[in-house]
């Protein structure tokens, strides 16, 4: 009876999705590694503070925290370019295994070096940089693997499930790390993250994927293989989606800077309120992502642009001195509308990209987006100093709404031009 009730509560698209043996094995593996990364979001800066030359106080710790956080992500851009020649031909499963092994080995050095008493700030930043060197390829392999396992008509639900797991890990992981940090050194928590990637590598290596369909590598008029850049030029929808997503993440960057300052300076509140904002956002993202995957049909482009516009609108109330519960509700709703965005984005890329180029295109997407939010956050610092947190939050929302409107106008122009071209060709024939 309980099993029958659980089956009834699970939407039909997810019941059909979980019938895939390979995906059933991947879901817990992804969940464990995402949880480990969520824990590292707290452990990485905490350990940087602990080993800083200033002993956790002064500017030295701030510099090391910034370097450690940057080293956890940005080297993925370099890795995408440097290793493209060797990794672009690998299937999604092998990319996930390769990235997971690198991350497991590198992150595993942190607790070993800390226990041995040789974990210097330089060594720490270097280890983190090595662990993230294949980050863009690993993220690409994750969704390329989903495309290899799941039929095209079920990819939206699969992408929604995978992205919702990541959103849930951002909620649970930091909270769990905060509890563990009262009993364990942050170095050991990073070691747990290393074990989670080792488990992901082992479980993914056992997955059997469907044989890839016969799909020749696209070539240009001269008979030469089309590069990722050339493919994006030939696919204006993909290029437009990449540009839209980059600016969406870029405009989100200042929010990460302005929101903590808004809470401490404008509201005179404690850090637990900041945790409440992000917890509600993460919970909303999980619900929104799973809800999108449960829908049978969803117009991908209109839904994507609608998400961008709604997130911008939900930031506008910060312009007014409203009660905290109102803006907390806006953030929860923001997570709810943002939740489907990753799944929709990846589904569009999977449906429009030839399988022979999917890993490379997704890696280029990941590498480009790794720069978006940090650049926005870097700009958000001086903007917040000059205009105040409330103005930056509102300005980010207004700019995001304008971005959505620009996307609508650009899409209309592309459709109009395509329609005129088709009519011209039809008339000429």
- 411 CB neighbour count, 10 Å cutoff: 17
Q: What residues contact residue 192 under an 8 Å CB cut-off, 6+ apart? A: 36, 39
Listed in order, the ranges of the chain carrying CATH 1.20.1250.20 are 10-209, 228-429
Q: Where do we find the tokens 């799944």?
A: 343
Considering the domain 10-209 in this protein, what is its CATH number? 1.20.1250.20
Residue 334 is predicted with a pLDDT of: 94
Considering the domain 228-429 in this protein, what is its CATH number? 1.20.1250.20
What are residue 219's DSSP bridge partners?
225
By the 8 A CB rule, do 142 and 29 touch? no
Sort 143 into a burial class: Cβ within 10 Å, 0-12 / 13-18 / 19+.
buried
Sort 382 into a burial class: Cβ within 10 Å, 0-12 / 13-18 / 19+.
exposed
How does pLDDT run along the chain (429 residues), one tens digit per residue?
444 444 555 666 777 777 777 788 888 889 999 999 888 888 888 888 788 886 555 445 667 777 887 888 888 888 888 888 888 778 888 999 999 999 999 999 999 999 999 999 999 999 999 999 998 888 888 888 888 888 878 888 888 888 888 888 888 888 888 788 888 888 999 999 999 999 999 989 887 765 554 444 444 444 444 567 777 777 777 888 889 999 999 999 888 888 888 887 788 877 678 778 888 888 899 999 888 777 656 677 788 899 999 999 999 999 988 899 999 999 999 999 999 898 888 888 888 888 878 888 888 888 888 888 888 887 887 888 888 889 999 999 999 999 999 988 887 776 666 666 556 655 555
Residue 78 is predicted with a pLDDT of: 87
Q: Where do we find the tokens 């690998």?
A: 90
**How many whole angstroms separate alpha carbon 347 and alpha carbon 344?**
5
DSSP notation for 338-361: HTHHHHHHHHHHHHHS-GGGHHHH
Residue 41 is predicted with a pLDDT of: 82
256 CA to centre of own chain? 15
**How many whole angstroms separate alpha carbon 124 and alpha carbon 127?**
5
Maximum CA extent, the chain? 77
Residue 4 is predicted with a pLDDT of: 44
């Amino acid at each position: 009876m309980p099993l029958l009730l659980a089956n009834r509560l699970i939407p039909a698209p997810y019941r059909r999705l979980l019938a895939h043996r390979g995906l059933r094995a991947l879901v817990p593996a992804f969940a464990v590694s995402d949880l480990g990364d969520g824990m590292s979001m707290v452990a990485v800066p905490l350990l940087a503070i602990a080993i800083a030359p200033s002993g956790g106080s002064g500017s030295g710790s701030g510099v090391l925290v910034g370097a450690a956080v940057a080293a956890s992500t940005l080297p993925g851009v370099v890795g995408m370019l440097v290793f493209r020649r060797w990794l672009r031909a690998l299937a999604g499963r092998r990319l996930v295994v390769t990235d997971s092994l690198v991350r497991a080995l590198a992150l595993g050095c942190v607790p070993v070096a800390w226990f041995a008493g040789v974990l210097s700030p330089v060594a720490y930043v270097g280890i983190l940089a090595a662990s993230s060197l294949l980050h863009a390829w690993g993220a690409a392999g994750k969704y390329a693997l989903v495309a290899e396992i799941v039929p095209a008509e079920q990819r939206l639900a699969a992408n929604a499930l995978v992205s919702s797991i990541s959103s849930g890990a951002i909620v649970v992981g930091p909270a769990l790390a905060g509890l563990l940090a009262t009993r364990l050194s942050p170095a050991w928590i990073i070691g747990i993250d290393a074990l989670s990637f080792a488990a992901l590598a082992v479980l993914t290596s056992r997955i059997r994927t469907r044989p890839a369909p016969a799909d020749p590598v696209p070539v240009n008029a001269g008979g030469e293989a089309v590069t990722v850049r050339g493919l994006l030029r030939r696919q204006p929808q993909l290029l437009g989606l990449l540009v839209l997503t980059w600016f969406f993440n870029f405009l989100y960057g200042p929010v990460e800077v302005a929101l903590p300052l808004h809470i401490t300076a404008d509201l005179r509140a404690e850090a637990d309120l900041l945790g409440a904002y992000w917890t509600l956002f993460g919970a909303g993202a999980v619900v929104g992502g799973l809800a999108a995957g449960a829908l049978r049909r969803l117009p991908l482009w209109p839904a994507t642009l609608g998400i961008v516009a709604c997130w911008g609108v939900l930031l506008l109330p910060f312009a007014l001195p409203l009660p905290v519960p109102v803006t907390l509700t806006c953030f929860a709703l923001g997570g709810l509308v943002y939740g489907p965005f990753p799944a929709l984005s990846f589904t569009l890329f999977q449906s429009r990209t030839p399988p022979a180029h999917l890993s490379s295109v997704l890696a280029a997407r990941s590498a480009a987006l790794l720069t978006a939010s940090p650049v926005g956050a870097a700009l958000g610092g001086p903007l917040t100093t000059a205009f105040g947190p409330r103005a930056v939050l509102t300005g980010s929302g207004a700019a995001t709404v304008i971005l959505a409107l620009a996307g609508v106008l650009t899409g209309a122009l592309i459709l109009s031009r395509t329609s005129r071209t088709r009519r011209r060709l039809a008339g000429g024939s």
